[in-house]
Amino acid sequence: MSANKKLLILAGDGIGPEVMHQVERVIEWFDRKRLVRFDTSEALVGGCAYDVEGAPVSDATMAKAQDADAVLFGAVGGPKWESLPFAMRPERGLLRLRKELGLFANLRPAVVFEPLLGASTLKPEVISGLDIMILRELTGGVYFGEPRGVATLPDGQRRGVNTQVYTTSEIVRVGRVAFELARKRRNKVCSVEKANVMESGELWREEIQKLHDAEYQDVELHHMYADNCAMQLVRNPKQFDVIVTDNLFGDILSDCAAMLTGSLGMLPSASLGAADSTGQRKALYEPVHGSAPDIAGKDMANPLASVLSFAMMLRYSFDMTEQADMVEQAVKNALALGVRTSDILQANTARVSTSVMGDTLLRELDKLG
């Protein structure tokens, strides 16, 4: 059996804990089968952390996250905390984790599972076989740029400011991840910005092109404006392989790409830092969906995005390709059985709860392993 691996579980708010519980069952399954053992610990993040610890993520939790081999994250936020001052909002916990762990590369795959073809609002022929990777820069741009804030002007108006800012090194390091990912896929990168109206976008385009010409000439590179990319994603998404873009455009385009697949409840993500001298990267894995307060606590949420995020962890943090494939196959098999949470329900399928989806996954894992 492989050596113990340190995981920090931050289930968060809303449906976070119930979907994470299904991941914990998968972790226990691996343990029981003696395939891999994890040292897991848990901590609070988001609104629940604010309620108990007075901050959306405490310093003690940050220290645990720094010390972990990987962080598994659920979701944060809810109406209860919406009127808190900006610095105390649940989302700030997630943003602090991203920033202080240096998780600049956010991988958001959008893959269509064939049994779910009919769950998408797009025509089956447009999305059948779709497999694209959105690589979002995650620690820069307008999310963190200074100056920022709201000030009151002498005439009594208020003025809100956020700053879009990127440096060469920030662009190049995420560009490098994009080209490396493409080499393991279909060897195509589309770099997305608004170079037609933003200087930072023009810089982005130039730096990505330079990196390509210097080190990655074997990879096909295109540039696209973000508005056109949004349109192309719905018109003909299969033209893309890897899309690399900044923090804000990546936030928007990845939601769009997610819906191509039929449900936000299916989409995992990985957020990775730079490799250290031993090749290890800080990493956080989270479903793309949010905390869905409207269905929280009802045993209705789709746990598959969280389970698929766990599979990404096996793949990217621990190089456990075989085990990652096994988890992904179990998800595919469960879907092929016609088992569906309500977000992906279709004609002739059975609506099941979060926990029954978990039961099904474990049974499918049993058959595989």
Q: Tell me the catalytic residues.
A: 143, 194, 227, 251, 255
Report DSSP state, residue 34: T
Residue ranges of E strands in the chain: 5-12, 38-42, 70-75, 105-111, 131-137, 149-152, 158-161, 188-193, 220-225, 242-245, 268-275, 281-287, 339-340, 350-351
Nearer CB in complex with ligand IPM: 47/175? 47
DSSP-derived 3-state class of residue 193: strand
| Nearest distance from C-beta of residue 292 to Mg ion, angstroms | 13
User: If 0-12 CB within 10 Å is exposed, 13-18 middle and 19+ buried, where does residue 308 land?
Assistant: buried
Fill in the per-residue mask, 35 to 74: x = in contact with ligand IPM (CB under 6 A), - = not in contact: ----------------------------------------
Distance, in Å, from the CA atom of 196 to the CA atom of 355, rounded to the nearest integer, reads: 49
| Nearest distance from C-beta of residue 252 to ligand IPM, angstroms | 9
Nearer CB in complex with Mg ion: 15/335? 15
Under a CB-based contact definition with an 8 Å cutoff, are residues 239 and 222 in contact? Answer: no
| Nearest distance from C-beta of residue 313 to ligand IPM, angstroms | 17
| Nearest distance from C-beta of residue 26 to ligand IPM, angstroms | 22
| Nearest distance from C-beta of residue 275 to ligand IPM, angstroms | 23
The token pair that represents 253 in the structure block: 């385009």
From the list Mg ion, ligand IPM, none, which binds 91 (C-beta under 5 to 8 Å, kind-based)?
A: ligand IPM
Nearer CB in complex with Mg ion: 27/138? 138
| Nearest distance from C-beta of residue 144 to ligand IPM, angstroms | 11
Which residue minimizes CB distance to Mg ion?
A: 251
DSSP-derived 3-state class of residue 223: strand
Nearer CB in complex with Mg ion: 247/360? 247
Distance, in Å, from the CA atom of 151 to the CA atom of 343, rounded to the nearest integer, reads: 42
Under a CB-based contact definition with an 8 Å cutoff, are residues 232 and 193 in contact? Answer: no
From the list Mg ion, ligand IPM, none, which binds 181 (C-beta under 5 to 8 Å, kind-based)?
A: none
From the list Mg ion, ligand IPM, none, which binds 101 (C-beta under 5 to 8 Å, kind-based)?
A: none
If binding is defined by CB under 6 A, does position 91 make contact with ligand IPM?
Answer: yes
Nearer CB in complex with ligand IPM: 91/325? 91
Fill in the per-residue mask, 210 to 249: x = in contact with ligand IPM (CB under 6 A), - = not in contact: ----------------------------------------
For 262, 278, 284, the CA distances from 314, given in Å and listed in that order, are 25, 18, 12
User: If 0-12 CB within 10 Å is exposed, 13-18 middle and 19+ buried, where does residue 155 land?
Assistant: exposed
Phi, psi of 216 (to 5 degrees): -130, 40
Residues in touch with Mg ion (CB under 5 A): 251
Nearer CB in complex with ligand IPM: 61/360? 61
The token pair that represents 202 in the structure block: 């023009």
| Nearest distance from C-beta of residue 224 to ligand IPM, angstroms | 20
From the list Mg ion, ligand IPM, none, which binds 211 (C-beta under 5 to 8 Å, kind-based)?
A: none
Q: Buried (b) or exposed (e) across 119-144, using 16+ Cβ within 10 A?
A: bbebeeeebeebebbbbbbbbbbbbb
Which residue minimizes CB distance to ligand IPM?
A: 91
H helix or E strand, kind and range, residue 260: helix 247-260
Figure out which of the listed residues 94, 103, 221, 334 binds ligand IPM, where binding follows CB under 6 A: 94
The token pair that represents 252 in the structure block: 């928007």
- Residue list 251-270, contact with ligand IPM (CB under 6 A): 251
Under a CB-based contact definition with an 8 Å cutoff, are residues 16 and 291 in contact? Answer: yes
Nearer CB in complex with ligand IPM: 115/290? 290
Where do contacts with ligand IPM occur on this chain (CB under 6 A)? 91, 94, 251
